[in-house]
Structures are given as structure tokens and as C-alpha cells.
């Protein structure tokens, strides 16, 4: 697979969960009635969560900050997955985490492989 093809596939695979995160963020920021249950549990932090989601997606799509964006998104979605599992809901966050991992793996496998040390050469 060529580099250009890898980049396009990586962007497409990463755009799917990113769109879902952005939709979730805008629902949190717009006081959508569907977020009332979340507001009861987290109160005023719902707005902060929405801002965080937008910021993390932006960091993920900037090439120089993609690694930190990826790690922040995985951490955020890991917390969301733990809440889903503790409430007996299906872990949809796990699907998004998997798509982000696939996207980054296609684009840059070095994030998942151990670094080569000078002594091993």
C-alpha cells in the first residue's frame, strides 16, 4: 500500500469516530434534552467534557500533535467505557477506541512497536 493510500485510509477510519465525538460534544454544549441524565451525574462538568472532546479531536487531526491527541482520546474513551460497563450498557466506546487504534496503526506503526535502542544494534 502506498503512503498516499495509507494516509487516506487512516483519515477515513479516524473520521468516523471523530465525527461521533464531535456530535457528542455539540450535544453536550447545546443543552440537548438527551443529556439530562448525564447532567444529573456530572453536573456542570458536562460542558467541560464537550470542550475536551472538541480539543482532543483537533489535536488528533493536526499531524504534529496526533500522538498526544490519540492518547487523550483513548484515555477519555476508556473512562467512558468504564462508565458504560458499570451501568450495564453496551461498551460503544470500545468500538471507537478500536477505530482510532486502527487509524493510527495504518498511518504510523511506530507508535505500537518498541523503540530500537542503541545497544541492540
Radius of gyration of the chain (CA): 17
Mean pLDDT of the chain: 87
Residue 1: pLDDT over 70: yes
Q: What are phi and psi of 34, to 5 degrees?
A: -70, -15
Residues in the chain: 121
Is residue 93 within 8 Å of 78, Cβ to Cβ? yes
- The pLDDT tens digits for 23-43 are 989 988 887 777 766 666 777
Question: 105 exposed, middle or buried (CB, 10 Å; 0-12, 13-18, 19+)?
Answer: middle
Amino acid at each position: 500500500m502506498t503512503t498516499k493510500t495509507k494516509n487516506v485510509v487512516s483519515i477515513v477510519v479516524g473520521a468516523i469516530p471523530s465525527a461521533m465525538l464531535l456530535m457528542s460534544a455539540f450535544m453536550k454544549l447545546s443543552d440537548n434534552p438527551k443529556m439530562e441524565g448525564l447532567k444529573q451525574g456530572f453536573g456542570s462538568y458536562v460542558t467541560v467534557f464537550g470542550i475536551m472532546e472538541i480539543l482532543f479531536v483537533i489535536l488528533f487531526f493536526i499531524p504534529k500533535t496526533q500522538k498526544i491527541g490519540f492518547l487523550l482520546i483513548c484515555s477519555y474513551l476508556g473512562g467512558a467505557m468504564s462508565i458504560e460497563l458499570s451501568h450495564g450498557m453496551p461498551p460503544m466506546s470500545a468500538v471507537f477506541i478500536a477505530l482510532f487504534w486502527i487509524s493510527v496503526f495504518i498511518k504510523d506503526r511506530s507508535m505500537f512497536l518498541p523503540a530500537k535502542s542503541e545497544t541492540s544494534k
